[in-house]
Amino acid sequence: MQIAVVLYDRFTMLDAVGPYEVLSRLPGAELTFAAAQPGAVRADTGRGALVADAALAELPAPDVVVVPGGPGQTALMDDEPLLSWLRAADAASTWTTSVCTGSLLLAAAGLLAGRRATTHWLALEQLAAFGAEPTAERVVVDGKHVTAAGVSAGIDMALALVDRIAGEQVAQAIQLGIEYDPQPPFAAGSPRSAPPETVAALRAASRFVLEG
Amino acid sequence: MQIAVVLYDRFTMLDAVGPYEVLSRLPGAELTFAAAQPGAVRADTGRGALVADAALAELPAPDVVVVPGGPGQTALMDDEPLLSWLRAADAASTWTTSVCTGSLLLAAAGLLAGRRATTHWLALEQLAAFGAEPTAERVVVDGKHVTAAGVSAGIDMALALVDRIAGEQVAQAIQLGIEYDPQPPFAAGSPRSAPPETVAALRAASRFVLEG
């Protein structure tokens, strides 16, 4: 089973590495980080880079596609080479998935029209402009299209995917292998649970970023 | 505040990237992935590589040290250049931290003697050989030494660290920014909650690996 994790300049690293850590442990999986060109791809913070071992063109028809999010997504919303690759890959894939604002790239490629989908909570309403149905859940499965909420949600998404691909026992073994027994120090990980002033501050900062 | 995340051949990528994603968002933080030599460092699965932007020798005294785990840790338990760097860095650090079997490297450097510490559940008892007190908790804080359990526990550890460094409001904002509202599909992330046959299977596989 071939799995392609798409990298691009200014992606968010945990969006890509959460699913990688789960899916690379799937028996028979051959996971590849791929980008427009092979080589180091710098993350959004500027403080880290992941290596793309292949060009997207070398992987025209992976069984599973994973598209992470990140601030760099904005500049790619009309990037025809990437959108064409996504359309062709989706036509052949068993599962087409995203984390965070990666779903906006799937949406821009026309792959989420009429489907329930999610993304980072700050970007959720943007999905509607592409005919998708914004759905405030952590992992949204609509047929073979699986979208996850912000950043860390890719771990939950990938485990749910392993459950569907290889069954509960394999998913549980991988979950135990990565000791995924989360104990967040605060109930602050969702706009529904975080202190309202924290939610408001992030909304304001995000508006500032979006409006330059 | 200078933060060094130590990379080495066959590290586990999420061990490093979980704390990176949290700590790089700390206001004023300057996080650097560092290894014996700068350049791409291949992870344990062979399917991914992270770029070390600096040599460890270029960062002799970071404020925060983060040591991830992974199968490559075994080969470094008597690597004098790394152990010397860890000792010198620890002598100057504000916080010395680890994820997963990264704590065994801290222990091998003599930094955990007489301290409570944790690691991946499969390796917990190994800490005792270095005079540390194996502690089956997700995040263990003993003075300035903070150790996390396996792989995904680095996210919880880093958020706990941000709370101590910059306070609850900053930690909550980062948690909300990475939408860390985990919803694991199973209660299988710990040997205390996973099905006993899954725990036994991973123990057996691990013994096979350790005994070659």
User: What residue of B is the nearest CA neighbor of A151?
Assistant: B178
**ipTM value:** 0.95
Q: What beta strand segments (E) does B77-165 contain?
A: 95-99, 116-117, 133-134, 139-142, 145-148
Blockwise average pLDDT, block size 10, chain B, 212 residues: 98 98 96 98 97 98 98 97 98 98 98 98 96 98 98 98 97 97 96 95 78 41
The arithmetic mean of pLDDT across residues A156-169, rounded, is: 98
User: What residue of B is the nearest CA neighbor of A183?
Assistant: B156
A127/A153 Cα distance (integer angstroms): 17
A180/B181 Cα distance (integer angstroms): 13
A33/B47 Cα distance (integer angstroms): 8
Q: What pLDDT sits at residue B60?
A: 96
Q: What pLDDT sits at residue A16?
A: 98
- Which tens digit of pLDDT belongs to each residue from A59-80? 999 999 999 999 999 999 999 9
User: Which of A42, A50, A99, A179 to mutate against chain B (most B CBs within 10 Å)?
Assistant: A179
Strand partners, A5: A33, A66
Nearest of B36, B78, B82 to residue B58 by alpha carbon = B36
The model scores a pTM over 0.90: yes
- Which tens digit of pLDDT belongs to each residue from B55-71? 999 999 999 999 999 99
Of A100, A105, A122, A174, the active-site residue reads A100
A30-35/A54-55 β-pairing: parallel
Q: Which of A47, A138, A179 sits opposite B31 (nearest CB)?
A: A47
Annotated catalytic, B100? yes
**Chain A residues with beta carbon closer than 8 angstroms to that of B17:** 13-14, 17, 48
User: What structural domains does chain B harbor?
Assistant: 2-181 (3.40.50.880), 184-212 (no CATH)
Q: For residue A11, what is the DSSP state? A: B
- Which tens digit of pLDDT belongs to each residue from A73-113? 999 999 999 999 999 999 999 999 999 999 999 999 999 99
Whether residue B45 and residue A25 make contact (CB cut-off 8 A), yes or no, is yes
Q: HSE on the CB side for A93, CA within 13 Å?
A: 24
Q: Which of A32, A50, A179 sits opposite B151 (nearest CB)?
A: A179
